[in-house]
Chain A
Amino acid sequence: MAIPRPQPLELQAHAMDNLRYIRQTIERAGSFTAVPGLGGVLMGSTALVAAWAAGPAARGARWVAVWMAEALVAAAIGVAGSAWKSHRAKLALLSGPGRKFAAAFTPAMAAGALLTAVLFQHGMTALLPGLWLLLYGSAIVSGGSASVRVVPLMGFCFMAAGAAALLEPAAGCVLLAAGFGGLHILFGTVIAVKYGG
């Protein structure tokens, strides 16, 4: 008895089902990190440039403006890097791991933006390096909780740098450069080497 030949649509549905299964398995496996290592290295490099351009003291509108510009550049690099990495893994940027990361990452960053405006208004810019490092670190810890271990570890290091900067505001700018520059480059390299770019 002849087996009926499958219709093209049947083939397509089957192939799509297989791809969906692969994607779901990868998402469940959970250790895919949408955090871009190479992007982190690039973000670290631009942060070092920003630290040099902003100068050694955390004061004045120019200093804040330089770091705000750096935040925008870093955000663009981060999104582009994540998109590139997800594309390589054949995942949508906001599929499981990416979506989880974004949802957990955003609240602390939004709080940071609000507190930046308030502290700047009250002339308390010396506290900004500590605040940024602390909140960025906590955003990374939250976002990276479902990711590979190195991501929350990076977040904890940022938080430690932030705590140090808050306790010793005079060292804030150095810690800012060491954090956003050094930690990004260090952990970015580890992520790029061990977790696919």
Chain B
Amino acid sequence: MAARENTVKKEREKRPAAGPVAASPASAHTLDRLVHERLRLGILSALAVNESLTFNELKRLLDTTDGNLSVHARKLEEAGYVGCAKSFANRMPKTEYRLTAAGRRALERYLDHMEALIQATRDK
């Protein structure tokens, strides 16, 4: 459990190795790396406009593999950005994801950040 929390913490704080946004000194302080990753951003965006989505719905929507989705959804879950409920439907396991209040706030912060970045570049 502690190891998991450490992974999430590291992911949040990690300074990016390269990449245009990442290398910006102004943005690196506030950019939530957990959200910045493409697939995780997709998961949060899709859940932002749906009450809940199953694992298979997310997989189809984001056109990704089981393993990839599973890893990234887990990271968001560990960060408290998404909630996950497991159940059975017709004897088949069903995993359902929901966006938490913290996840919604994180996505909104990220959107504001991207918009601010665009605005700042335009103002120069």
Contacts and interface: CB of A to CB of B under 8 A. Distances in A.
Interface of A: 3, 5-6, 8-16, 18-19, 21-22, 25-26, 28-29, 31-32, 89-90, 194
A31 B50 contact: yes
Secondary structure class of chain B's binding surface, majority of residues: helix
A19 B53 CA distance: 21
Nearest to A3: B18
B61 A25 contact: yes
A32 B114 CA distance: 21
Interface residues of B, number: 29
Contact of B50 (A21, A29, A89): A29
Interface stretch (B1-9, B66-74, B85-93, B116-124): B116-124
B46 A25 contact: yes
21 contacts: A5-B23, A8-B120, A8-B121, A9-B121, A11-B21, A11-B24, A12-B117, A12-B122, A14-B21, A15-B115, A15-B118, A15-B121, A18-B21, A21-B45, A22-B111, A26-B45, A26-B48, A29-B45, A31-B49, A31-B50, A194-B51
Interface in B73-124: 111, 114-115, 117-118, 120-122, 124
A89 B108 CA distance: 10
B41 A22 contact: yes
B115 A19 contact: yes
Contacts of A3: 18, 23
Contacts of B41: 18, 21-22, 25
Contacts of B122: 12
A16 B122 CA distance: 12
